[in-house]
Structure 1
């Protein structure tokens, strides 16, 4: 019996019925004579109602429910799984610290399988369950599918990894803790042109996430052209079809580019890199931030060595805050965290901070009022549209892991 229940029982015991009052504490028996049977029945009912009320007050509070939506199956499961694990760690740490005002937090996880219909169904289920905030989605294509539903229901989405630039500057219920794809693409184009001297590039993009890949390619091409560079060819494929990518790779290499850029998820980027290395071993290879995960390094093997990628995540961060996160993540999941792990942890903590606010304001209103939240590696600062920006660096795969390019670029 918990302390609240013990208090309730002891409180009930001090309430005496008329029959009992005659026998206890030397009280006179006139109570029984003066109270008619109907009155005694009323007292008994009031006594029972009081007892029930006291015990009901001791019942556990309803948990605080937040949602998670991401691709946990299929070819982009690495991104969704990392984001889910990061969010789960944040929730578990919050529960260990007492929850939200003593209420337990429950993370309701849904798999969108990188399918718009499944994503919409997942969000509908979470809205029906009464969540006020959802961590996710994880890709721009899924964001396109579910933002209208969230807006209609007044439920806030906080995405760890969606970067599509056309979501910027909108007054909606969509927030994100990372920069837009325009910033990643510009960083990549500037690097290839300035640091690598490239002037001829070929791109290959996955149309299954066209809201991200087409946007990324357009911003890359525009920035590359500012340096006198030319995008010779943009090859397209759909990871949903799982077809061979050799025809696209051979067409790209036929134009003799200085660099090949893969704008795809980790699984397909690894396939592209391996095919290019077999045919043009010394060419510069760059992958977009979507693929820059530990899964890419694992699948790419030796072919992944020397591949460049733009990203904000610093795996060698020595700050106490990151080291504490890293230790907790490895102990909980027995694997190294990736960029999506950090972003999922950050997004969930932003959601929890908004839900813990002692105001009647909506989650969206609170986020826009506070604007600045702690992050694992950097503060998260939202503009008036819920968009965030983080410094982006270039990384390279070296000895089987991503490392930032140049010690001086670390801040």
Structure 2
């Protein structure tokens, strides 16, 4: 039988109407091959679990979600190439980045492309109060530094020496300056501020020597888990009874694995409650262990929350609304342990929990 032109066009239209809607594509950008890759890998896993669970529940209005992964390698040039690749792939939104230094590189590109991006862990004050396409589910360096300054002073520390990773300057500079201001206001003094660039051959013993030369009564490390572990090991050799603390950036499972006995009694804040016994968190924890055969970390929880916010906003998104508008409009969103509500700039508060390392475990302060 020969089809008339109009019948052929109708048949094509019907066939097209039967094809499934194209998937929603969400980009991921994080460090998967650098010295702080533990944060990026844990974040990627948290995002993957959130997406898998949503797909098992039917996706978003019947559309499946796909993840497009890009490694920023904690390197400005690679981060720029990675974000351009996500823009070229025409993803619908992005989860990441996980460090403030990478955010400083990629956010201008994202804003130019009008691509909504939600970061699980970026805290630098450089990104607070900005009317742009960059959303954060974490609190700020100011919030964290003020809490640390208050707690260290309460514990009797008056002269604190800090070492900080200048490679993530947007974060470490902001954190250090906020801590200095808050600690000074308490009556304390930041007696040393030792910069270093995180590399395999970094002389961590020399860094600790410079910190101790200022005769502090406490050490503060503003760095990733791998570097805090090595700094703590050098501090244990030179000043074994000196109180030490580390910024929340290092609060991953790798800290204990790499630091060993040297990180015992280390004070560090967590962005989630590891002892949570709620059904929601226990269900997540069980699913994560079954899927990845390891404990979730702070970036896992943050990425799971960030992805959950994004998917909930997309589900509620109305015709003509951008993803960014939906995130700002349709909150609060239910995270694993707390409700997440954004202000007009895409900023949100987040509760933290101070812990100490005891017996190779993060133990909540009572």
Same fold, TM-score > 0.5, yes or no: yes
Kept after mapping to 2: 8 A contact 1:350/1:373: yes
How far does residue 213 in structure 1 lie from its aligned partner after superposition? 0.5
Q: Deviation digits for residues 73-93 of structure 1, max 9, x if unmatched?
A: 110101101111000111100
Output the TM-score relative to the length of structure 2: 0.97
Residue aligning to 2:24: 64
Is the aligned partner of 1:174 residue 2:119?
no
* Aligned counterpart, 1:284: 243
Contact 2:272 2:351 in 1 (8 A): no
Aligned partner of 2:82 in structure 1 is: 122
Take 2:261 and 2:164, find their aligned partners in 1: how far apart are those partners? Answer: 22
Equivalences for residues 249-288 of structure 1 within 5 A: 249-288=208-247
In structure 2, the residue matched to 1:220 is 179
Alpha-carbon distance in 2 for matches of 1:98, 1:316: 31
Distance apart, 1:49 and its partner CA: 3.2
Shift in Å, 1:241: 6.4
Match of 1:149 in 2: 109
> SS of 2:29's equivalent?
strand
Give 1:80's aligned residue. Answer: 40
- 1:52 corresponds to which residue? 12
* Structure 1 residue 226, shift from structure 2 partner: 1.5
- In the other structure, the counterpart of 1:231 is 190
* 1:292-331 deviation per Cα after TM superposition (whole angstroms, max 9, x unaligned): 1100011000111100012221111011111111111111
Deviation at 1:366, TM superposition (A): 1.2
Matched residue, 1:349: 308
Question: Is the contact made by 2:24 and 2:92 (CA closer than 8 Å) also made in structure 1?
Answer: no
Q: Does the 8 Å contact 1:188/1:220 carry over to 2?
A: yes
**Deviation per CA, 1:273-296, whole angstroms, max 9, x where unpaired?**
110011111111000000011000
Matches within 5 A, 1:6-405: 44-194=4-154, 196-240=155-199, 242-356=201-315, 357-405=317-365
Q: Is the 8 A contact 1:314 1:403 kept in 2?
A: no
Deviation at 1:46, TM superposition (A): 3.4
Higher CA-based Rg: 1
- What stretches of structure 1 of length at least 5 have no aligned partner? 1-16, 18-40, 407-411
Task: Tell me the secondary structure at the aligned position of residue 47 of structure 2.
Answer: helix
Structure 2 SS opposite 1:53? helix
What is the DSSP-based 3-state SS (H/G/I as helix, E as strand, rest coil) of the residue aligned with 2:294?
A: coil
How many residue pairs align between the two structures?
A: 365
What is the rounded CA distance, in whole Å, between the counterparts of 2:311 and 2:57 in structure 1? 12
Q: Which moved more, 1:52-61 or 1:179-188?
A: 52-61
Deviations 1:44-70 (A, max 9, x none): 443333333322222232111010100
Contact 1:187-1:310 within 8 A present in 2 as well: no
The answer as to whether partners of 1:208 and 1:240 remain within 8 angstroms in 2 is: no
CA distance 1:359–1:48, change in 2 (3 Å): closer
Whole-angstrom distance in 1 between the partners of 2:312 and 2:246: 34
SS of alignment partner, residue 190 of structure 1: helix
CA contact (8 A) 2:146 2:178 kept: yes
Whole-angstrom CA distance in 2 between matches of 1:182 and 1:111 = 28
